[in-house]
Each structure stands twice: as C-alpha cells, then as structure tokens.
C-alpha cells in the first residue's frame, strides 16, 4: 500500500491520487477494525477505478519431469 501514497519514498512511479492519500491516512489512524475494513474497501475501490499501474502480461511457468527424476 505504501507505494501508492504520494508522499511515500516507495512511490517510485510518482502515482498521485488525493483520495487514495486521504483514505490511506484514515486507515492508518483508525483503531476500530470494522471501520478500518470499510476504509480499505473504499481505498481498493478507488485504486481499481484509477489504477496506479496496468499489467500488460501475465507470465505462466509450466514445467514437466519424468517419473524417474526424484527430489523435485
């Protein structure tokens, strides 16, 4: 989550969304777990509507081996 907060040192892509910043701050300051869950739901909804990154591929790894090979 830290990489999506505009002031974070881990925000390498320079993502800026004021609503995400506000919701993240609220989530960190809220001690009530149920309230925190609701805040995170809103935060993830905002991230899905204004995504910080778009993944262009999905790598899948396929491997095979013969039954005689052991220790895999």
Domain assignment of residue 55, yes or no: no
CB 72 within 8 A of CB 65: yes
**pTM of this prediction?**
0.69
Q: CA-CA-CA-CA torsion for 33, 36, 42, 48, nearest 10 degrees? A: -80
Domain assignment of residue 44, yes or no: yes
Domain assignment of residue 64, yes or no: no
* C-alpha–C-alpha distance, residues 53 and 15, integer Å: 9
CB 58 within 8 A of CB 10: no
Domain that holds residue 36: 2-49
According to the model, what pLDDT value does residue 64 have?
80
According to the model, what pLDDT value does residue 23 have?
97
Domain assignment of residue 30, yes or no: yes
According to the model, what pLDDT value does residue 72 have?
67
Domain assignment of residue 67, yes or no: no
Domain assignment of residue 56, yes or no: no
User: Could you read off the pLDDT tens digit of each residue along the chain, which spans 72 residues?
Assistant: 788 899 999 998 899 999 999 999 999 999 999 999 999 999 999 999 999 888 787 777 777 878 887 776
């Amino acid at each position: 989550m830290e990489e999506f907060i505009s002031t974070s040192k881990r925000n390498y892509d320079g993502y800026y969304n004021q609503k995400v910043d506000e919701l993240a701050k609220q989530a960190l300051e809220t001690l009530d777990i149920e309230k925190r869950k609701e805040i995170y739901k809103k935060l993830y909804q905002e991230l899905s509507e204004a995504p910080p990154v778009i993944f262009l591929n999905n790598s899948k790894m396929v491997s095979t081996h013969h039954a005689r090979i052991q220790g895999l």
